Amino acid sequence: MSTSTEHFGKPTARLVATEGSQLDALNQWVMEVARLTEPARIQWCDGSDSEHDELIELMQDEGTLLPLNPDTHPNSWLHLSDPDDVARVEHLTFVCTSDAETAGPNNHWMAPDEAHAKMDALFAGCMRGRTMYVIPYCMGPIESPLARCGVEITDSPYVVANMRIMTRMGAAALARIEREGSFVRGLHSIGELDPERRFIMHFPEELLIKSYGSGYGGNALLGKKCHALRIASYQARQEGWLAEHMLIVGIQNPQGETHYIAAAFPSACGKTNLAMLIPPESYRQAGWKVWTVGDDICWMRPGADGRLWAINPEAGYFGVAPGTSNKSNPNALASIQRDTIFTNVATTADRQPWWEGLDDRVPATDWQGRDYDRGNGPAAHPNSRFTVSAKQCPSYSSHAEDAQGVPISAIVFGGRRASLVPLVFEARDWTHGVLIGASMGSETTAAATGAVGVMRHDPMAMKPFCGYNFADYFAHWLSFDKPGAKLPKIFHVNWFRKGDEGQFLWPGFGDNLRVLEWMIGRVKGQAGAVDTPIGALPKADDLTLDGVQLTPEAQEKLFAFEQEGWVREFDGIASYLKEYGRRLPSALLAEQENIASALRK
């Protein structure tokens, strides 16, 4: 049962604080926020089923959560967000460190005093007549030394329901906060949902997030991008670990060995599909299996054995719905048949959730709740989402809850590149791999507001998420290469190479396992490759390509090293890296210059 009070001054039964304890600090912060925001009531969330049922009922009564067909999708709901609140807002997202250099040119920066004043003016009285929910949560398995806790205060019951799926939320997290002595504070209000009064502010030095004016995904579920990436990346640098925008997948070969791969791709480039990959038929027959540990965020740190060990800090998936189908991602589709919150999808006449790419049914209503009319554009919003527990995925790894994490054999960086970049190549060493990650470029997608299809540099897929200066972040990455380290091999992939007619050259999806198999072969010193200035490239026959129909154009371009194009690419990389000025680690610049000169020979 959840505990609530009618007046915010009253202590709750659940919160038993001793003077000077963490709960005392938490209680004081909650009261301070309540004095500022003036809620009608405060509810401490314990994550229980009864609390969840009450919230679902409340949102149905309010009309903010609509029931879906209980026969086809039991316990599943549809939330339609404000049409002006459908994605992350990078131009309104700030990192507020004491000096601008710490945040770096990769972040919008505001001085902490100014940011606090701006945000506190927005928060003043904003919860009048509303309930203020206090959500203790843990990012990562509750007993894991790699996990970290936070508390989100919000006036959105939709946020509570999503945080319950995406994090370990409630009593166990509160107990760990009391034990541990530190937690990330996140203050959120939907405010008036006015895009003119919307800001997502991070104060890494204070382990604090303030988010106002949006109820959507990464802007509002503060455990995800705000805590697990922006704040955690800053903390990770101080503490000697890495908080990355990476999926984690386990590849089990027919001999029964499992290799864990962490892979960074910019938003909406198929991370969820790769994390839940279904092997091609011939691989399944041979005994290959794929296990999902995480689809979006990876926290890793060196273990006593020198290897990097990783956890998925999240407990659920906030996946893109459009394009998810039985062909692209059967595991995701199987996961979302029950106990799922859908946001901004369309519905069929019998109230089933629907989106473009699912199947050829015609929807009845669109993502704004209107009767479907082709003239209004896509029925589901391109950034519409499903929120579902990771445990519902048929490929969920039995090691996903391991407190020590899983050992990482390979790190993969990938982008959406129509030309030049081959299917896969391997870094010569860690420094080269860090340069490959730092040089990543990709064409933009609908996961954030702004133009789609524009090429931008997105180092390690962290451009929107690194909580400090990229120059220092690259130095932090380089620092892992020290005596005794047994670091993973680093690769780059491009599933999105196009031919002269604009068609994709690589089938992608399950066939990506062929590329992962080659990587594992490289890790074990068994697979072939040709050395080039950009790294080691496989020849077509270094991959298992039985049953894949590649056109002659695909055979050529997917495995080609196009020297002239790479000379130009490296000029672009040099200009991009130089934006970070004197703070850029010299080892990274030297690596770039060595490759650039090898390319000119």
- Asked if residues 215 and 343 have their Cβ atoms less than 8 Å apart, the reply is no
DSSP labels, 552-587: HHHHHHHT---HHHHHHHHHHHHHHHHTTGGGS-HH
Residue 262 Cβ vs ligand O2Y, minimum distance, rounded to whole Å: 15
Residue 502 Cβ vs ligand O2Y, minimum distance, rounded to whole Å: 25
3-state SS, residue 498: strand
- Asked if residues 448 and 89 have their Cβ atoms less than 8 Å apart, the reply is yes
Identify which of 539, 545, 487 has the alpha carbon closest to the alpha carbon of residue 513: 545
Identify which of 177, 170, 127 has the alpha carbon closest to the alpha carbon of residue 147: 177
Residue 324 Cβ vs Mn ion, minimum distance, rounded to whole Å: 15
Residues numbered 285 to 304 that lie near ligand O2Y (CB under 6 A) are: 296
Residue 356 Cβ vs ligand O2Y, minimum distance, rounded to whole Å: 17
**According to the binding rule CB under 6 A, does residue 318 interact with ligand O2Y?**
yes
- Alpha-carbon distance of 53 to 99, in angstroms, equals 45
Residues numbered 438 to 497 that lie near ligand O2Y (CB under 6 A) are: 447
**Considering CB distances under 5 to 8 angstroms, the limit depending on partner class, which of ligand O2Y, Mn ion, none binds residue 218?**
ligand O2Y
Residue 283 Cβ vs Mn ion, minimum distance, rounded to whole Å: 27
**According to the binding rule CB under 6 A, does residue 413 interact with ligand O2Y?**
no
Instruction: State which of residues 85, 295, 296, 314 lies at the interface with Mn ion (CB under 5 A).
Output: 296
**According to the binding rule CB under 6 A, does residue 88 interact with ligand O2Y?**
yes
Which positions from 361 to 400 touch ligand O2Y by CB under 6 A, shown as an x/- string? Answer: ----------------------x-----------------
| Residue whose CB is less far from ligand O2Y, 464 or 538 | 464
* In the block, residue with structure tokens 């298992």: 544
**Considering CB distances under 5 to 8 angstroms, the limit depending on partner class, which of Mn ion, ligand O2Y, none binds residue 88?**
ligand O2Y
Residue 162 Cβ vs ligand O2Y, minimum distance, rounded to whole Å: 10
**Considering CB distances under 5 to 8 angstroms, the limit depending on partner class, which of Mn ion, ligand O2Y, none binds residue 416?**
none
- Alpha-carbon distance of 335 to 354, in angstroms, equals 15
**Considering CB distances under 5 to 8 angstroms, the limit depending on partner class, which of Mn ion, ligand O2Y, none binds residue 422?**
none
- Asked if residues 191 and 126 have their Cβ atoms less than 8 Å apart, the reply is yes
Alpha carbon distance, N-terminus to C-terminus of the chain: 70
Residue 389 Cβ vs Mn ion, minimum distance, rounded to whole Å: 18
Instruction: State which of residues 267, 324, 335, 439 lies at the interface with ligand O2Y (CB under 6 A).
Output: 267
| Residue whose CB is less far from Mn ion, 331 or 592 | 331
Parallel/antiparallel/unpaired status of strands 208-212 and 184-189: parallel
| Position 402, amino acid | D
Residue 458 Cβ vs ligand O2Y, minimum distance, rounded to whole Å: 10
Which helix (DSSP H) or strand (DSSP E) does residue 188 occupy? Answer: strand 184-189
- Asked if residues 138 and 311 have their Cβ atoms less than 8 Å apart, the reply is no
Measured from each CB, the residue nearest to ligand O2Y is: 217
| Residue whose CB is less far from ligand O2Y, 459 or 538 | 459
| Residue whose CB is less far from Mn ion, 267 or 365 | 267
3-state SS, residue 442: strand
- Asked if residues 452 and 268 have their Cβ atoms less than 8 Å apart, the reply is no
| Residue whose CB is less far from Mn ion, 263 or 573 | 263
| CA angle (181, 182, 184) in 5-degree steps | 155
Chain centroid to Cα 290, Å, comes to 20
- Alpha-carbon distance of 31 to 220, in angstroms, equals 21
| Joined tokens for residue 41 | 């009531």
DSSP labels, 13-50: SS----TTSHHHHHHHHHHHHHHHH--SEEEE----HH
| Position 254, amino acid | P
Residue 331 Cβ vs ligand O2Y, minimum distance, rounded to whole Å: 16
Half-sphere CA count of 552, side-chain side, radius 13 A: 0
Residue 553 Cβ vs ligand O2Y, minimum distance, rounded to whole Å: 31
Identify which of 361, 412, 95 has the alpha carbon closest to the alpha carbon of residue 249: 412
Instruction: State which of residues 30, 87, 232, 558 lies at the interface with ligand O2Y (CB under 6 A).
Output: 87
* Catalytic annotation, pick one of 126, 269, 298, 393: 269
| Residue whose CB is less far from ligand O2Y, 22 or 219 | 219
| Joined tokens for residue 532 | 């080039």
- Alpha-carbon distance of 165 to 567, in angstroms, equals 47
Which positions from 208 to 237 touch ligand O2Y by CB under 6 A, shown as an x/- string? Answer: --------xxx------x------------
| Residue whose CB is less far from ligand O2Y, 23 or 447 | 447
The 10 Å CB-count burial string (b at 16+, else e) for 457-478 is bbbbbbbbbbbbbbbbbbbbbb
How many residues interact with ligand O2Y (rule CB under 6 A)? 11
- Alpha-carbon distance of 240 to 349, in angstroms, equals 53
- Alpha-carbon distance of 191 to 586, in angstroms, equals 45
How many residues interact with Mn ion (rule CB under 5 A)? 2
Residues numbered 456 to 475 that lie near Mn ion (CB under 5 A) are: none
- Give 424's contacts (C-beta < 8 A, 6+ positions apart): 491, 492, 493, 494, 515, 518, 519, 537, 538
Which positions from 145 to 184 touch ligand O2Y by CB under 6 A, shown as an x/- string? Answer: ----------------------------------------
Phi then psi for residue 483, to 5 deg, are -55, 135
Residues numbered 257 to 286 that lie near Mn ion (CB under 5 A) are: 267
- Asked if residues 228 and 297 have their Cβ atoms less than 8 Å apart, the reply is yes
| Residue whose CB is less far from ligand O2Y, 97 or 444 | 444
| Residue whose CB is less far from Mn ion, 296 or 542 | 296
Please, what's the largest Cα pairwise distance for the chain?
Answer: 75
Please choose, out of 12-20, 76-84, 296-304, 468-476, the segment that lies near Mn ion by the rule CB under 5 A.
296-304
**Considering CB distances under 5 to 8 angstroms, the limit depending on partner class, which of Mn ion, ligand O2Y, none binds residue 93?**
none
Measured from each CB, the residue nearest to Mn ion is: 296
**Is 226 annotated in the active site?**
no
| Residue whose CB is less far from Mn ion, 267 or 383 | 267
- Asked if residues 293 and 252 have their Cβ atoms less than 8 Å apart, the reply is no
| Residue whose CB is less far from ligand O2Y, 30 or 159 | 159
Residue 575 Cβ vs ligand O2Y, minimum distance, rounded to whole Å: 26
Residues forming contacts to ligand O2Y in the complex (CB under 6 A) are 87-88, 216-218, 225, 267, 296, 318, 383, 447
Residue numbers annotated as active site: 269
Residues forming contacts to Mn ion in the complex (CB under 5 A) are 267, 296
